[in-house]
Chains A and B, each alone.
Chain A
Amino acid sequence: MKSYTDNIKEISKRLLKEDKVDMVIGYRTGSVPLMHQPFFAQNQEEVDEFVWDSNCGLNLANYITDRTERIGILATGCNSRNIAVHIVEGKIKREQLYIIGIPCKGMVDRHKLSAMADGDITSVEDENNGSITITGQNFSKTVDKAEVLQENCSVCVHRNPVIYDELAAEEVTEQKRDDVDPYARVKEIEALSPEEKWAHFDDLLSDCIRCYACRNACPLCYCPLCFVDESNPQWVGKSIDHTDVRTFHFLRAYHCAGRCTDCGACVRSCPVGINVRDFTKKLEKDCLELFDWEAGLNTEQRPPLDTYRPDDPEEFIK
């Protein structure tokens, strides 16, 4: 069986050769472990730099916003859903895209792995048999991939792409919501008392440096001017005052409600490892419960907070 990487290269080369696309967006190997780089290839040599393994955890839909070329793009389950959201929201046209679907086996959590290592990791071996070996200057450790998956991947119920033109591998078995509870963590937080919740979110955000990597890594955050950057009127202060930091996080999460696919790019890119999904996942749960809605499953329907129907439940206002 050919590897994901080989298949991706083969498909990409064919697309470029047949002039079906102007570029293919994928990943190339990073210069440091756990960090592959989003990369666009325009010719055969560049395609040879492509790689696919469990360190491709950003969201490539972030790279197609408002582009005008004909684009080939790799898409896992969540990435394909964000592409669908982009299409619905008019950020790209379906006809411009050739989607190379990647049935996804999950991405490893770079924060978790660094915390596990006794020193700095110099290499990561993704053994494709379900284990990951990390090596550093004075250590080497093999762990079960399932244990070091990003949390969003371990509870993912849409691993196979929902829209694609061609698959780069056979579909993987989907997890069922009855077997893995995607909202276990949300439920834990929901069960806290108001004081405990406050303490939880205070602690969660205590290290935030407001670099906005979480926002910028997110394909949903494409506004030309984010509300935190507005200066006239200025909604939010720019210091690391707690109120401003919270305002940023709460509002950003609400802007993502019903659109977030839980791809985890926000958490992955945070330099201090803040799990901002504690906000977005709760809203995802609400959307599922209130509107029977999951983001990005088709390219026609607008997200729930973006539409109105007289028969919307709206229990929360009554």
Chain B
Amino acid sequence: MKVIRIDKNDWAEGIEKIRKTYSLIGPVKEKFYHIFANLGSGQMPDMEFTNSRISPKYIIYPQSEIILKCSMNAEEEDYKIYREPEDKEYKEKAVLGIRPCDADSLPVVMRNFDTDEYKDPYWLRAFETTTLVGLACDAPCPSCFCTSAGSGPYNHKNLDVMLIDNKDHYLAEIITEKGEKLAEAAGWQDKAEGIADEIAKRKSDAESKIESNVHTDNLAKQPLLDLYEATSIWEKAAFACINCGTCTYVCPTCWCFDIQDEVYGREGFRIRNWDSCMYPLFTLHASAHNPRGTKLARLRQRFMHKLKYYVDKYENGIQCTGCGRCVRLCPVNIDIRRICNMMNSYDPETCTCEATVS
């Protein structure tokens, strides 16, 4: 793999160059935490950050996205006829500083948005026009558990370029063609030779700093209905849960949405909004019956989906990349690591499990 050395003195200049072709998105400190935001002209990404408080999934999958528009003026020809908005453009964009766990969430989400049967045009177009310039993690958070969730602090599998901070310069691994194109546009071409060992060492150092992990080896083998009925897992956790949906909104791998029609003046909009399995409304039927009418049922759904249904259906690990956001932000400390370990160790014979967070 090609590795390029980018002197930090030349970093700003390269960024200015790629601005011509790409619109740029990067970490910015807002109020007291980081978010991924559009970088205005001359604005640089703040690369001294741990991770954004809320996952950057909204870059490709916005919280509220207008997908269709129509006229609500009865005089007009396209009265109530929904069409794709003309101003919906998919300009090439580059995300600077995205962390490996968040990039690794994209193939997870893609399993939902890109299937043989259905292709989500909005998500796919946004994804295809995005180049990911990741930043390897040298100081992961204490609540990250990426290495046991199919990701890792130096995982470059789903990045186009991965930057490694090396004091006065970045080492940039050029991973894909998209990455190559971006590096070219930036004028980054100073090849770094003979540093493979150094990178390997940095990688293993970073991995050894991940302090927590989840056990997932047994999840696929667990009988589904036994887990579903494991009240010893669900009852205590559901008690504290306030069904706020924070965990699902901050999560890079949660993909559920709701479609709503709204009218503003003489225009109608069809809007796709994030939704959450934690909300009673998510499953409320028109008949007023709610198949997930209790908070226990909703909490169980979130974990069963991530850690059992997904595991069984896609045979590709868990629907979680270990970013730790839900762990840090759940207001009542419902910890997916704990629940995952409980599900993994659940013994249907004795109805017991081990509740550990390691």
The answer to whether B327 touches A213, judged by C-beta atoms less than 8 angstroms apart, is no
**A305 on the B face (CB < 8 A):** no
B276 (CB) vs chain A CBs: closest residue: A211
Which B residues touch A209, using CB under 8 A?
A: 54, 63, 249
| A62: Cβ under 8 A from any B Cβ | yes
* Residue from B30, B236, B244 within 8 A of A212 (CB atoms): B244
Is A137 interfacial (CB 8 A cutoff)? yes
Bound Cα distance from A241 to B63, whole angstroms: 11
Asked if A229 contacts B280 (CB within 8 A), the reply is yes
CB-CB < 8 A to A63: which residues of B? 239
Residue A39 is within 8 A (CB to CB) of chain B in the complex: yes
What 0/1 pattern do residues 194 to 212 of B give for CB contact below 8 A with A?
0000000000000000000
Q: CB of A237 within 8 A of chain B?
A: yes
- Given B30, B33, B281, which contacts A229 in the complex, CB threshold below 8 Å? B281
Total number of residue pairs linking A and B with CB closer than 8 Å: 118
The residues in B between 235 and 264 inclusive whose CB is less than 8 angstroms from any CB of A are 236, 239-240, 242-246, 249-250, 258, 260, 262
Nearest B residue (CB) for A265: B331
Q: How far is the CA of A273 from the CA of B258 in the complex (A)?
A: 26
A115 CB–B CB distance under 8 Å: yes
Contact A31 B335 (CB under 8 A): yes
Inside 8 A of A120's CB, which chain B residues have their CB?
50, 141-143
B32: chain A residues within 8 A (beta carbon): 111, 114-115, 273
B273 touches A271 (CB 8 A): no
Q: Which residue of B lies closest to A240 (CB)?
A: B64
B: interface residue count bin: 35 or more
8 Å CB interface, B303-350 against A:
327-335, 337-338
- Chain B residues with Cβ below 8 Å from A231 are 281
Task: Assess the B327–A31 pair: CB atoms within 8 A.
Answer: yes
Interface residues in A269-295 (C-beta closer than 8 Å to B): 269, 271-273
CA distance A63 to B273 in the complex (A): 29
Q: A51-107: which residues lie under 8 A (CB-CB) from chain B? A: 58, 62-63
A240 to B141, CA, bound (A): 30
Which A142-167 residues have a C-beta within 8 angstroms of B?
none
| Chain B nearest CB, measured from A234 CB (Å) | 8
Within 8 Å by CB of B250, from A30, A114, A241, A271, lies: A271
- B59: chain A residues at CB < 8 Å are none
Are A37 and B141 in contact, with the CB atoms below 8 A?
A: no
Q: Are A211 and B262 in contact (CB under 8 A)?
A: no
Report the Cα distance A37→B330, complex, angstroms: 10
B53 beta carbon closer than 8 Å to chain A = yes
Q: A35-B333, A37-B334, A213-B331 are in contact. Are A271 and B357 (CB under 8 A)?
A: no
User: Could you tell me if A213 and B244 are in contact, using CB atoms closer than 8 angstroms?
Assistant: yes
Q: Is A31's CB under 8 angstroms from B337's CB?
A: yes
What is the minimal beta-carbon distance from B213 to any residue of chain A, in angstroms? 13
Contact, CB under 8 Å: B333 / A122: no
Neighbour of A38 across the interface among B239, B246, B328, B357, CB < 8 A: B239
Q: Is A119 on the interface with B (CB-CB < 8 A)? A: yes
Q: A35-B333, A137-B139, A238-B273 are in contact. List 16 more A-B contacts (CB 8 A).
A: A31-B357, A35-B332, A37-B332, A38-B332, A39-B239, A39-B240, A114-B33, A119-B139, A209-B63, A211-B249, A211-B276, A213-B242, A240-B273, A269-B244, A271-B329, A272-B53
5 closest cross-chain pairs (CB), A and B? A269-B331, A239-B64, A213-B244, A115-B32, A30-B333
8 CB < 8 A contacts A-B: A32-B142, A32-B327, A115-B33, A122-B142, A137-B139, A212-B279, A216-B243, A272-B53
| Interface, chain A (partner B; CB < 8 A) | 30-32, 35-40, 58, 62-63, 111, 114-115, 119-120, 122, 136-137, 207, 209, 211-213, 215-217, 229, 231, 237-241, 268-269, 271-273
